[in-house]
Each structure stands twice: as C-alpha cells, then as structure tokens.
Amino acid sequence: MSLILQTPRLYLRRFTTDDAHLLLQLNSDPEVLKYLHEPALQDEAHATEILKNIILPQYEKNLGRWATYITNSEEFIGWCGLKYHMDTGEIDLGYRFMKKHWGKGYATEAAQHTLNYGLQELLLKEITACAHVENLASLKVLEKIGMRYVSESIIDDCPVKTYIATP
C-alpha cells in the first residue's frame, strides 16, 4: 500500500487500478454528485478509465486524489487530495465522501491534514479550492480549515466560491 498521510482517525493512500469498485460506489450516488460537474459512473469499466486517465497520472507529480479510510475499521469512505490543473497551473484541494460518512468531521480532518501536507511537506506555494455557492457543507469545511475566501465566479456554468491558502 502506498500510504500518503495519517490523521487521528483516518489514513490516505494512493488509488490503484484495483480500486474501480470503490470509485464506482462513490461516484454513482447522485447526492454525492449534486454540486459537481460530472456524470454518475455506470460501471467498473468506466471507473477504471477514470483511474487510469485522470487519477493515477497525478501521482507522477506526488499530487493526486487519495483513497481515504477510517483507521479503526479499515472502511473506505471516499477521497481527499491535491490536484494539479494543467490549464491554469493551479493545485486544488478537493474531497468527496460517501453519504453515510458525512457529518462526522471526516472531511474537515482529511482536508486539514492534506492542506498541511501540501504546504509543509510538498512545500507548495499556493493551494486553491472551490465549491458551488450552494454547497454549504463544503464551504464550511474550507472555512474551518482556515482557507481564505477570494472571489465568486462562474466556472463551467456554475457559480463557485474560490478559496486560497499559502504557507
């Protein structure tokens, strides 16, 4: 297992091509995708494609979305991580968890440690994050981990708020 970081209750590891079933579980729930600009995954073949083409290539830069587990129960709960955007050069913090694990502070915990890891271990100069203006849970997470609100704009036809963190 390629472990990236540990928090008091969670650990984050790299995804592999064997994890299509996990990604399918997460990305097939319309509630999870409610504020995101992407279609629900229909089958494992599609999930494998996302892993190979989008998630795994990010690991070459030591960045990426990392599979997140509850340490005590070894339960997969979703992902959290840092993504490099080739078009803008930005590195953004993101997280996505299965609905049954919402409301327990896991997103805040994973996001806080991921942000610290990016700034203190990877020595990134800047990390951004954005969330749909109506995605109140996600906005709350960004505020709680101390990211600074920058602006509201329209991205891919969606009104989003952008946040930033620097060392």
Ligand X SMILES: CC(C)(COP(=O)(O)OP(=O)(O)OC[C@H]1O[C@@H](n2cnc3c(N)ncnc32)[C@H](O)[C@@H]1OP(=O)(O)O)[C@@H](O)C(=O)NCCC(=O)NCCS
Shortest distance (Å) from residue 20 CB to ligand X: 19
Q: Where in 75-134 is the site for ligand X (CB under 6 A)?
A: 95-97, 102-108, 131
Shortest distance (Å) from residue 134 CB to ligand X: 9
* Helix pair 136-144, 106-116: axis angle to 10 deg: 50
Shortest distance (Å) from residue 45 CB to ligand X: 23
Q: Are 93 and 115 in contact (CB under 8 A)?
A: yes
Task: Return the residue of 12, 23, 24, 141 that touches ligand X, per CB under 6 A.
Answer: 141
Task: Return the residue of 135, 161, 162, 165 that touches ligand X, per CB under 6 A.
Answer: 135
Shortest distance (Å) from residue 32 CB to ligand X: 5
Cα 28 to Cα 31: distance, rounded to the nearest angstrom: 9
Sequence-ordered alpha helix ranges (H) in 3-145: 20-27, 44-50, 106-116, 136-144
159 near ligand X (CB under 6 A):
no
Beta bridge partners of 108: none
Q: What is the dihedral of CA 145, 26, 128, 131, to 10 degrees?
A: -80
Q: Where in 22-81 is the site for ligand X (CB under 6 A)?
A: 32, 35-36
For ligand X, give the closer residue by CB, 13 or 132: 132
Angle (CA) 74 72 9, round 5°: 105
For ligand X, give the closer residue by CB, 85 or 104: 104
For ligand X, give the closer residue by CB, 8 or 123: 8
Q: Are 107 and 155 in contact (CB under 8 A)?
A: no
In the complex, the residues that contact ligand X under the rule CB under 6 A are 32, 35-36, 95-97, 102-108, 131, 135-138, 140-141
